[in-house]
Structure 1
Amino acid sequence: MAPEATPSISEAEVDRLLLGKRLRHFRTRSGLTLDQLGEKVGVVASQLSLIENGKREPRLGLLQGLAREFGIDPSELLKHEAPDHRSALEIELERAQSAPGYSRLGLPHVRTPRTLSDDTLEAIVGLHRELARRSRAAATTSEEARRANTAIRMQMQERDNYMPEVEVLASDLMRRIGHGTGAVTHRQVAMLAEMLGFTLIFVDDLPSNTRSITDLENGRIYLPPASIPGGHGLRSLALQAMAHRVLGHSEPASYAEFLEQRLQINYFAAACLLPEARAVEFLQQAKRNRNLAIEDLRDAFGVTHEAAAHRFTNLATRHLDLRVHHYRADGAGSLVRGYANDGLPFPADTSGSIEGEVLCHKWGGRSAFNRTNRTSEFYQYTDTPSGTFWSSVQTGDAEQGPFAIACGVSFDDTRWFRGRDTSVRAVSTCPDESCCRMARPELLTRWSGKAWPSARMHAHVLTPLPTGTFPGVDDTDMYEFLSRHAPQEN
């Protein structure tokens, strides 16, 4: 006999299940049978049974009558939480069995009558949890992560790196806390947190690999006591943590979803720190003056240079009619991240992924390191097989080593930017090996076969991709941290 088809379960059905579980909980606590309760509220027992099993939703009048018989407020029946551990397990099993991964197994749908013991139910749910965990782990290979990251980058390129739905949310929230001109203050970020039901708490014992932790039960966001290395300010960290609630995120079910959520919270934080209307007004005036400069945007809104460069890409195409590129590279010339809708030819592997690829030595993001004085902006024109591009580059140092932040446009659009009069120009023919990947003939003649370096092994080569619901975060460390800091119950 063919196995029973696995039914899907929607959020509305989950709500009905929760209501049914809570109704059964209060009925049994009151010592009433279905017949006895039905007689009291004027409904046949079979109808109450359908409600308790999540098959039917009660009318408001019946809901009020049931609550009255139980001596509780009607809102108690509508709470979005299971009344006991058994009910929570039953609902979790329903969710698990409706997942596509379980459906593909072709196994029967397991029901949960009261005759099914708690231990058996616990074991079945535990097996589903492990099945889901292994499925996520199998999917989260380095290759899969790179494909997911590339897909997201291409989607954002199609959208010109602009997310109008997030812009609207951020603008509305900043208006509600009364933010006007100038940089967003820490006090205003704290006000926003309070409006969303959170308190910001600064601690010095956050677990490794976490930038913040949100205690959803007690409405607390834990942050480090000072800005962490790499340019992530406390305001941005707090806004990113709040963004999960604002954007309605749930626990990521895949590495791709984790990356998508990470993109969205970063965008939200930037949209709050550099609000669209004021940032666009600032940039449009600078364009009219033919004096666009990332460092001016950075200083006007009190953010990091990278945040300003990335925010510029969000707004440039939509509001300035400029197609742009932006990337971060490390001191060895490896791409950390990049975006371009102006045709800049990023190096890429066969899957289209650019992360970890090595930039041409002739690009501004590498030649900027050749200067003795790196405090000022570096400007360069680069001729490539895809055309000529101008870039403004800022270098810096982080815990992981030196880095370069580049932002620029194609040659035709340089007239709007400060630094367009630079005389620095380079010619890149990469991916042609003769461009910069092969030593000059005289060097080959002099040194070939006469040198043997001791190569440094990059740590990431042998490191597995971080796993877990939130990749790289140790659940044990996180839960122990929350237990140390949670308010003590009386």
Structure 2
Amino acid sequence: MKLYLGRRLRHLRRELGLNQSAMAAEIGVSPSYLNHLERNQRPVTAQVLLKLAEVYDVDLKSFAAEGGEGVGAAQLAEIFADPMFGGLAVPRYELAEVADNAPGVAEAVSRLYAALVELRRRPAGGEEEEEGAALSPQNWVRDHIQASRNHFAYLEEAAETQAGALGDPLSIAEPMRRRLKEAFGIEARIVPPEVLDGATQHYDLHRKRLLLSALLRPESRTFALAYQLALVEFRPLLERMVEAAAAPDAPTARLLHMSLANYAAGAVMMPYAPFLEAAETHRYDIDRLCALFGASVEQVAHRLTTLNRANARGIPFFMLRVDAAGNISKRFAGEAFPFSRYGGTCPRWNLHGAFQTPGRTVTQIVETPDGQRFFTLGRTVPRSVRLDAQEDSQLAIGLGSDLRHAPRLAYADGLDLANPQVMPIGPACTICPRIRCPQRAAAPAGRTLTVEVGRKTISPFPFLGG
């Protein structure tokens, strides 16, 4: 199969701060040939891929995998499964050709569809939005973060330096409080929740006071301090990153600023090199990492998706956070993400079953329709603030990676990975190709149903394959 990876190649070059002539010289090709590769006028050869791996420590599997940076055929298939395209029946190979040979067109289609999805969610008769605001800030920021594979090298370096000056991660809260006070004149206080009127933390700019809700759990309180420290300590860097991202409007830029500060806060609490070393030493035991760094399960799970530093990579995890109703509120990935972008998750993935065993980690090996297998973990987590008994509902975290990484995980001990029990799963039901799924909740778009009045099948929506 020919690989057209121009968008990813260009992103890598820009991330390294190189022009085309410099990169071409380093990988042993002509500038004109590199230009053709970046414009998808030539496929990337095996020799070029190997040279990228040698010179820049590129992980070839994630670099060449569909679903990394840019819009792949799987995402286009999900878009064209929408009922408004009914009757077109665009074949998969055509979608693959668009994704590979015309990435700009694929990106444009993706943005238009994302804008349509946002418009559908708005109540009828609502006020008109500004031009360009149809794509929600949340989706724009998520796409921007994923384009960088959820790793920001400059923030990592700054956070690691800051964490080294603060000392032991397990007792980092007090040094952070002192740093805020002594270097920036900011006083941190814990106040009753009524004072904050529904907020969990608030920075009073005029009095230079950071007010933290008494309902925040200890690890969330530490994260709040780290977040505020990141805002003031890394302010010039954060502002440059937000400016370079060129967000479409002010609300999106502010959300990106907050997201990058959150990233930096996690990196201060769990500095890259010590965290990666601990993760490898303890075989990615989440509870052990929580104990070593004074972090929550969710904070550790999120941090595990960011370990993508050149020459020091961890296992490339993906992560989801869902509530009991199946609403996805977080989605991060260190490499290709195997689930639906616009729909929910597959009910056969036991992430949902985690709610039946609160606090316990459940494991499952799943297989996507294209035959790729993943080792996954599911576990409930509490919200960052303590609510009353009637509202203290839990969330579930789903964490996973390619099955080939499973031997490095403590959670895989005792499992027969050579002959594993595998659960076939799929993307959203409307685009899932699995014919005999007993949990199918919707008819597949663009497929011919084979319902017979005198015959009932396991799946409520039988359809023709192919």
Q: TM-score range by the shorter chain?
A: 0.5 to 0.7
Kindly indicate whether the alpha-carbon contact (under 8 Å) linking 2:368 and 2:424 is maintained by their aligned counterparts in 1: yes
Kindly indicate whether the alpha-carbon contact (under 8 Å) linking 2:360 and 2:379 is maintained by their aligned counterparts in 1: yes
Distance in 2 between residues matched to 1:298 and 1:136, nearest whole Å: 46
Question: Structure 1 pair 142/400, CA: closer, same or farther in 2 (3 Å)?
Answer: farther
Instruction: Quote how far apart the aligned CAs of 1:381 are.
Output: 0.2
Distance in 1 between residues matched to 2:252 and 2:457, nearest whole Å: 48
Amino acid aligned to 1:324: F
Question: Structure 1 pair 170/340, CA: closer, same or farther in 2 (3 Å)?
Answer: closer
Instruction: Quote how far apart the aligned CAs of 1:283 are.
Output: 2.1
Residue 244 of structure 1, aligned match among 220, 224, 231: 231
Residue 326 of structure 1, aligned match among 291, 299, 319: 319
**Is structure 2 residue 441 aligned with structure 1 residue 438?**
yes
Instruction: Quote how far apart the aligned CAs of 1:383 are.
Output: 0.8
Residue 235 of structure 1, aligned match among 222, 232, 235: 222
What is the SS of the residue equivalent to 1:233? Answer: helix
**Is structure 2 residue 410 aligned with structure 1 residue 407?**
no
The TM-score, its normalising length taken from structure 2, stands at 0.56
Residue 358 of structure 1, aligned match among 325, 344, 369: 344
**Is structure 2 residue 213 aligned with structure 1 residue 224?**
yes
Instruction: Quote how far apart the aligned CAs of 1:183 are.
Output: 0.6
**Is structure 2 residue 282 aligned with structure 1 residue 295?**
no
Instruction: Quote how far apart the aligned CAs of 1:328 are.
Output: 0.9
How many pairs does the alignment contain? Answer: 293
Kindly indicate whether the alpha-carbon contact (under 8 Å) linking 1:294 and 1:312 is maintained by their aligned counterparts in 2: no
2:184 alignment partner in structure 1: 196
1:374 alignment partner in structure 2: 358
Query: Alpha-carbon deviations, 1:178-219, whole Å to 9, x = none?
Result: x13x51343222112123321112222343453322223332
Distance in 1 between residues matched to 2:392 and 2:174, nearest whole Å: 31
Distance in 1 between residues matched to 2:187 and 2:456, nearest whole Å: 63
Seq. identity, %: 18
The TM-score, its normalising length taken from structure 1, stands at 0.53
Deviates more, 1:260-269 or 1:183-192: 183-192
Residue 258 of structure 2, aligned match among 258, 262, 268: 262
Distance in 2 between residues matched to 1:325 and 1:283, nearest whole Å: 16
1:163 alignment partner in structure 2: 152
Kindly indicate whether the alpha-carbon contact (under 8 Å) linking 1:140 and 1:255 is maintained by their aligned counterparts in 2: no
Query: Alpha-carbon deviations, 1:415-443, whole Å to 9, x = none?
Result: 11112244663111333275333389999
Question: Structure 1 pair 363/173, CA: closer, same or farther in 2 (3 Å)?
Answer: same
Question: Structure 1 pair 429/326, CA: closer, same or farther in 2 (3 Å)?
Answer: closer
Instruction: Quote how far apart the aligned CAs of 1:258 are.
Output: 1.7
Question: Structure 1 pair 346/232, CA: closer, same or farther in 2 (3 Å)?
Answer: farther
Gaps of at least 5 residues in structure 2 are: 1-126, 384-390, 444-450, 461-466
Question: Structure 1 pair 418/150, CA: closer, same or farther in 2 (3 Å)?
Answer: same
Instruction: Quote how far apart the aligned CAs of 1:260 are.
Output: 1.0
1:37 alignment partner in structure 2: none
Query: Alpha-carbon deviations, 1:387-427, whole Å to 9, x = none?
Result: 11111221134446332112221111111111224466311
Gaps of at least 5 residues in structure 1 are: 1-134, 350-356, 449-490
Distance in 2 between residues matched to 1:445 and 1:424, nearest whole Å: 25
Q: How does 1:338-487 map onto structure 2 within 5 Å? A: 338-349=331-342, 357-369=343-355, 371=356, 373-386=357-370, 387-398=372-383, 399=391, 401-420=393-412, 421-422=414-415, 425-430=422-427, 431-432=431-432, 435=437, 436-438=439-441
Distance in 1 between residues matched to 2:316 and 2:380, nearest whole Å: 23
2:273 alignment partner in structure 1: 277
Kindly indicate whether the alpha-carbon contact (under 8 Å) linking 1:317 and 1:324 is maintained by their aligned counterparts in 2: no
Distance in 1 between residues matched to 2:184 and 2:263, nearest whole Å: 18
Tell me the C-alpha RMSD between the 2 structures: 3.4
Distance in 2 between residues matched to 1:317 and 1:444, nearest whole Å: 53
Larger radius of gyration: 1
